[in-house]
A and B are shown apart, each in its own frame.
Chain A
Amino acid sequence: MTSRRDFLKAASKASLGFCLVLDHGKILLAQDALGNSDFSFNPFISINTNGQVTFVNPNPDLGQGSSQASAALIAEELEVSLDKVKVIFSSGQANEGAQIAGGSGAVRRSWEQLRQAGAAAKEMFLRAAAETWEMSDSQCKAQNGEVINLNTKARLSYGELVEKARTLPIPEKPKLKNKEQFTIIGKATKRSDVLERITGKMQYGIDVTVPDMLYAAVLHSPTIIGKLQSYDDKEALKVNGVVAVVPCKRTMPYSSFDALAVVADSYWSALKGRRALKGVWGKEGDHLDTDIYFKKLY
């Protein structure tokens, strides 16, 4: 496993251009953040020498579109088109900080900080271009991933400016756009992930495999809190592919309930094994019984 120190070193190498880290609302360059022992390196934004912007998103998104909204916050202030911001998700490791989805908070929580990071990077590109052309920032304009020299109409792309920009101080208070200046935020934008979701190519949790993977299908009590009294796994273990039957717990906040896991070399075998498994359950909570409920459905 890569430590965050190694990761940041790699991320702040020249090949990646420059990398902004948001540490408790403060914007830092990745290489400066290395010295800070308690920071978590998420979210962060890197911009490489091709001008490709990568946003490592700490907020899981299963289709609600918050990742695109977050990318829009960056793109808006950074002055790049939305398709220039590639979103990848953080890996779930503890050292990547809080990685949560909930309470409709992904955009609300990052509304200021992602915009500020975008704006800070844009100001650094402006400064880098202005220094190159030996003029003031106000004679330059950032637009669509480039800085334009308003006097000569010359252009320098963010990719070309990355090396210089990363050596400059990070603006303390980058200036944010006002609402009337928005061209991406608040506008209808097409989602980038529709194609894979309508062609069967999108990878979901159920589609992931790893070498020598086993699958488990869990048998629960038909009542919500029924305790396991005994079980018979003789038939389940005869099913092709079933490896083991393991008593386990369904853990819920403040409580946990008995369950039985059928472990097999394929999901189908696990499901078939579960069908052949017999559990004897107590009557606890029998005012709601899924066996009875399903019988009523058919």
Chain B
Amino acid sequence: MGKYNLNINGKQQTVDCDADMPLLWILREKLGITGTKFGCGIAMCGACTVHLNGQPTRSCQLPVFQIGKSTITTIEGIAPSENKLHPVQEAWQAHQVPQCGYCQSGQIMTAVAFLKNNPKPKMEEISAAMSGNLCRCGTYDRINQAVKHASDLLTK
């Protein structure tokens, strides 16, 4: 066990845990930040995607000792304020994307990071960028439409 200082959604948090504890479980079980989901546990499905210094990262495979001073952003940390959604979430709402919604935190985190690097993507680029996040409900088409819509919202 050891003490780790983590910067999560702009807030400094101290956790006491094993060095190999993955960020996913620190968020969910040590800090009660449960919007990030456990899917496969082997970095294949993308349900646990968060941002590490703005880059999409599979938190189920990120042990706490590797995090250091990197800043962590989760689905709870992307909206500009309590009452306002991130433009990607707005697009998700407009397109009524989720069915069960279990994978959608990860989908949204991947989309937010992608649009920062590629603000005006073509549909094929969206499809490719989102292809690593699995959705058992099969909402892929709505996801792609919503990313396109979010790109318009962010660049207007």
> Which A positions have Cβ atoms within 8 angstroms of B?
62-65, 190-191, 193-204, 206-207, 240, 266-268, 271-272, 297
Contact = CB atoms under 8 A, between A and B. Distances in A.
B114 interface: no
B104 interface: yes
A196 to B, nearest CB: 8
A267 B38 contact: yes
A202 B25 CA distance: 18
Nearest to B75: A200
Contacts of A203: 34
Contacts of A266: 25, 29
Max chain A CB contacts within 10 Å: which of B21, B34, B76?
Answer: B34
A272 B60 CA distance: 12
B76 A199 contact: yes
A198 B36 CA distance: 11
B126 interface: no
Given A266-B25, A268-B25, A198 B38 contact: no
A114 B27 CA distance: 42
A215 to B, nearest CB: 9
B127 to A, nearest CB: 20
A63 B99 contact: yes
A194 B98 CA distance: 7
A201 B99 contact: no
B46 to A, nearest CB: 15
B101 to A, nearest CB: 3
B79 A199 contact: yes
A240 B108 CA distance: 33
B58 interface: no
A198 B108 contact: yes
Given A63-B137, A272-B20, 5 more contacts: A64-B99, A194-B92, A194-B96, A198-B98, A206-B34
B74 A198 contact: no
Contact of A199 (B1, B18, B28, B35): B35
Interface string B21-44: 110010011000011111001001
Contacts of A240: 1, 18
B105 interface: yes
Contacts of B1: 240
B100 interface: yes
Contacts of B98: 63, 194, 197-198
B115 interface: no
Please list the 4 inter-chain residue pairs (A to B) with the smallest Cβ-Cβ separation, ordered nearest first: A200-B35, A197-B101, A63-B100, A268-B25
B69 to A, nearest CB: 23
B100 A268 contact: no
B99 to A, nearest CB: 4
Contact of B92 (A198, A201, A207): A198
B40 to A, nearest CB: 11
Given A206-B37, A267-B38, A195 B99 contact: no
B38 A199 contact: no
6 contacts: A194-B96, A198-B85, A199-B85, A266-B25, A267-B38, A271-B41
B21 A268 contact: yes
Given A268-B21, A268-B22, A190 B96 contact: yes
Among B96, B97, B101, residue most surrounded by chain A Cβ atoms (within 10 Å): B101
B89 interface: yes
Nearest to A203: B34
Interface in B71-100: 74-76, 79, 85, 89, 92-93, 96-100
B140 interface: no
Contacts of B29: 266-268
A237 to B, nearest CB: 16
Interface string B104-127: 110010000000000000000000
Contacts of B97: 194, 198
